[in-house]
Structure 1
Amino acid sequence: MQSTAAEAAQHLEQMSVQLEDIEAAQQLLDGVIVRTPLEHSRALGRMTGATVHLKCENLQRAGSFKVRGAYVRMARLTEEQKACGVVAASAGNHAQGVALAAKKLGIRATVYMPRGVALPKLAATRDHGAEVVLHGSNVDEALAEAERFATETGAVFIHPFNNEDVVAGQGTIGLEILDQQPDVDTVITSIGGGGLLAGTAVAIKQEAARRGRTVRVIGVQAANAAAYPPSLAADAVVPLKGVRTIADGIAVGRPGQIPFDIIRELVDEVVTVSEDSIAQALIFLMERSKMVVEPAGAVSVAALLEGKLKGLGLNPRSVVAVLSGGNIDPMLMLKVIQRGLSAADRFLTVKLMLKDRPGELATISKIISDADANVTGVDHSRIGGALSMGDVSITITMETKGTEHSHQVLDDLRHAGYEPIVMN
C-alpha cells in the first residue's frame, strides 16, 4: 500500500486530517479523557520474540476510544448547532461515547439503538444522560432513523467514523503511544469503519517522520467482516454484504470514505483474523493480562496469536497492540469464552454410542477421570433414528488442559473400545 518517498510526502500533505489537527484535538481532550496506560505483556513477548505493550483503551471513559472522536466533533460545533442537539446511532461504544461527550458539553443527545441491543450498553448510554430510542432490528435501521431525525429536527448527526474531527480525535491515541513507548516500531489496531486506524496512522506516521523514525501501522479486521481488503484491492470503497462476527464493534460493511482515503495511503498492511482466534485472544487477555476486553478490542492480540507479523515477513522489536474497547455483554462473554476454550482444546465435547446396560456410564466416567479431565455435562438419550434396540447415545462435555490432553482422553477412550465423535 506504500508509495515512493516523494509520493508519500505529497500524499501526506493532501490528507484531509493532518498532525496539527490531531495535536489540536489532544488539547481539546485535555482533562476530558483518561490517558490510558501502556501495559507490558511478557506472554505475548515470548510468543512473538518482540517487546509487546497493550494500549488499554478498554480502560477509557465510557469503555472505549470512541469518546475521543465524539467529543472533538461535538466541541467544535457552533453554539447554534449545539442548541439544536445531536443525534447518533449505535449498538454500543459510539452511543456511550456520544452520550458522555454530550453530557460534558451540555448538549442534548438522542441516540437510536436497535431493539436487540445488550442491556448493559443500553443502561450505560442512558446513565450518561442521552435519550435512547429503540428502533429497528439492526444498526443500519437505527442509523436510517437517526438520519431522518436529524433532517426533521435540525439535530447534528454525529457519524461514528466518516468525519475529519472524529478521525482527529481518535488519532490522539497515536500521539500517546509515541510518548509512552518512543522506540515502538509496529502499531496494530482494529478496523471497523476506519476512524481509529486512520487517525492513528496520521499521528504515528507524521510524528514519527518528524522525529526521524519509521513506524509500521497495521490494521486488523475480523475475517467475517473484512470490508477493507476488497476495497483496498479495488482502490475504492466496496460495500460488503453478510457481515457476521462476534466482534460486533467492528462489524461494519462499508468503510468510511474519509478514513479509507487515509488508510490506503498510510497503512502498511491490513490483515484478517478468524472468529476462533478472536475468542482465544479474549480469553488470553483475561488470563494473562487480567483485562476484560470486548471481541473487537481483542483483534489486535488475535493477530499476534495467529502469527500475522511473521506471516508478513516482519520481525519487529517493539510492538504496541491497541485494545480498543472493553464493553462486552456478560452473555456474549460467556459464549465467547466457551468458543475460545473449545478452539484451544480446553473444552471438549464427545458423542459415544454405548450398550444400554448397568455400569457403562461408570466405565466411561472412570476413563475420563483417570485421564484427569473434568466432566461438566452429560446428555443421555435412548431415542433416535441412528439408535438400535439396546443402544444409548451419550454426549459428554469436559474440561481439558489443551490439545495434547484432549488427544490423550480421546486415545484412552478408543483403547477401551469406544468410538468417540468430537462434537466441537
Structure 2
Amino acid sequence: MPQRHPETSTTDRLVIVGNGMAGHRLVEALLARPERPAITVIGAETAPAYNRILLSPLLAGEMERDALTLRSAEWYAEQGIELILGERVESIDRTSRRLTTDAGRELSYDRLVLATGSTPARPPVPGLELPGVHVFRDLHDADALARAAEAGRNAVVIGGGLLGLEAAEGLRKRGMQVSLLQREDRLMNRQLDLTAARLLESELRGRGLDIHTDAQLERLEANAEGQVCAALLADGTRLAADCVVVAIGIVPQAELGRVAELEVNRGIVVDEWLTTNDPAIHALGECCEHRGNLYGLVEPIWRQVEVLADKLCRANAERASAERAESAQGYVEKPTATKLKVSGISLYAFGPTEPEPEHEVLSYRDPQQGDYRRLLLRDGRLEGAVLYGDTASGPWYFEQALAGRDLSDCRAALLLGAADAQALLDDASNESPQRPAKEAA
C-alpha cells in the first residue's frame, strides 16, 4: 500500500542545501510542526545524512557503516521530501530565486537554507599536497584512512584536539604506529587544564601513541615515488609517515554565501532568526556566524534548528509549546559544556581552562581510580569545571553554573559529587527561617 505523504500547510518551496547533521535535524524539526513548506534537500555526498560523530568508531573498526545512517533515502520519499544527492550547488540567483547545481540542475525556491557545514582547516606547511595526506571529515575520509592503515605501518596525525585524538586512536587500533603532533603544551588545550591533559596524555601513551607536544611541523617529505614518507619537526625530529592526517580544526564552508554576495565574515552572517542579509535566505550550523561566533558543537546548532524551524513554519509565541517558547525569541548564545568520549576516556568541561586571580580553586584527584575534578568558583558561584574519569556529576555542576547559584552552603561537599552537594543545599534550604506572611507580601 503506498505511503501517504504528510500534508504540508503552505505552498512555499523550501530548499535546504546540505544533507549533513544540521540540515537533517532541520528536516526532522519541520516534520514535527503543524505546518511546514514543501521541502527539497540537496546533498553533495552520495550517501543520505549520517552521524559524523560516529566516524571515529567506524575508523577504529568498532562500528558498521549502516549504523551511522540517520534516515534512508526511502524515508525522505515517504515523507514527501525531494532528496537530491551527489550534486553540489554552484550558484544562487537571488533575484529570480533560483539555484544551479554542478550537474546543471536548476531549482526555484521561496526560502533557502544554507547548511553547508565546514571544511578541514589546513596549516601552511610545505608538502601538505602530497599523496598520502588525508583529512578526517566524512565517510570518504574514513574509508581512505582504513585503506591507508592496510597499506602502511607508520602514521602521523597533526592536531591534539578531539578529532586528532580520535583519528590517532582509530589508526592505532587498525595496527598502525601513530605519532600525534600538538603545537600547544598539552592535549585538548581548549577544554582541559594541565593536570587533566597530562592524565589523558599518560593514558594514551600507555596505549601506544607517540605524542609530541609543543611540536612545530616544519614540512612533510616525499619519497622517490612522490608519496609522503616523513614529517620533519622544527627541532630536527624526523617521523616516518606512510600516511598523514590533518585534524587541526574546521573552517566554515561559506563560499556559496560569497558567490551569492551575502554578507560573509568568517562564516555566513546571520541574525537571531538565522536570517542572512537576504530575508529569503538563512544559514545554519557550522557554515554560519552569529555575533562573531562560529559553531562546531551540536548543542548550539540544535538550538539554532528549533529557532529556524519555528521561523520557517511561521510559528509564534502564542502557540509555541513550552519547550519551544524560548526559540520564539530568536537564537541566543549560551554557555556550552563539552562532553567528550575519547577512546573510552570520559571528559566533561565548561568555563575557563585557567583560573583567574579572583577564582577559588577546588580540586580532587584519585590516581588509583584515574579520577580528577577541578572546580572554579567566584563568590561561591561555579564558573568552570574540568572532570576526567568519573564525569557523572558534570551536568549537575553545569546546571548550577548556568543558574548562578550560590553554592557556599555545600562547598565542603562539592568535590564529592552532585548527590552529596545537593543534599547539603536541600538541608540548608529546609533550615532557612520562613519570613512572616506580612513581610512576604
With the shorter chain as reference, the TM-score category is: 0.3 to 0.5
Name whichever structure is richer in helix by fraction.
1
Name whichever structure is richer in strand by fraction.
2
TM-score, structure 2 normalization? 0.33
